[in-house]
Amino acid sequence: MTEKTGLLVGRRALITGASSGIGAAAARVFCENGASVLLLARRGEQLATLTRELTDRGFTAAYAVADVTRAEEAEAAVARAVELFGGLDAAFNNAGLGTVPAPLHLTEDADFEAVMATNVRGTWNCMKYEIAAMLPGGGAIVNNSSVAGLMGTPASAAYIAAKHAVIGLTKAAAEYAAQGVRVNAVAPGTTRSEMMAQWFDLNPGLEEQLHTRTPLPRTADPREIAHAAAWLLSDQASFVVGATVPVDGGWTAR
């Protein structure tokens, strides 16, 4: 068995959007840092493959197929984590959805609704049940926002609005700190996720254009975002509450 060492030793964690990108990277990083992890997403085949990789390495990992936009499925996922691990004290609400950028007045209502459902309602649903599960013994939650949640970016207006809302939910949950539950957020910049890779493929030259606006002119590896989330979930961030931490190569510093 792999020796349990790292920032998250003994933590029982739930990761949403865990089938690819930042979520899959977080699954690996959290396990490598000692956590037991339940992976959650809509794509069961990818989850099964990643879970098998982690358990083959000696880590404690399981998965559940669920859609976080449905409150009952989010509730069942939290209950499953508690059942498997005896409790829940860490969660990374990473599930997100973006659409091809378009002017606000040309954005389809269906695209707006889909983005808001996953990024905002999905985060709300998960937080609601995660906080309830953590209140008896304490814990920490990290929500995945974006630099688009801190400022205007080339992303769609719906995505920008949704990621601002994620930060609002994060700040609103600061009231739980006195009861032992810390909630913070990360705000990734240009990151090599599945969604961003598709966007780059559709827009040749866009990745290089984004680099020109970033003091550290490159695209982040998803593990870099996952490491920031792991730190926020750990006791090393014990006095960090309601914060949004940019992991953006300096994008928001300009």
Residues with catalytic roles: 159
Q: Which helix (H) or strand (E) holds 202?
A: helix 194-202
Whether 13 contacts 92, CB under 8 Å: yes
E strand intervals along the chain: 12-16, 36-41, 61-65, 90-93, 139-144, 181-188, 244-247
Q: Which helix (H) or strand (E) holds 162?
A: helix 157-172
Phi/psi at 68 (nearest 5 deg)? -70, -15
Longest CA–CA separation in the chain, Å? 56
The residues near 11 (Cβ < 8 Å, ≥ 6 apart) are 30, 34, 35, 36, 89, 90, 233, 234
Phi/psi at 73 (nearest 5 deg)? -75, -35
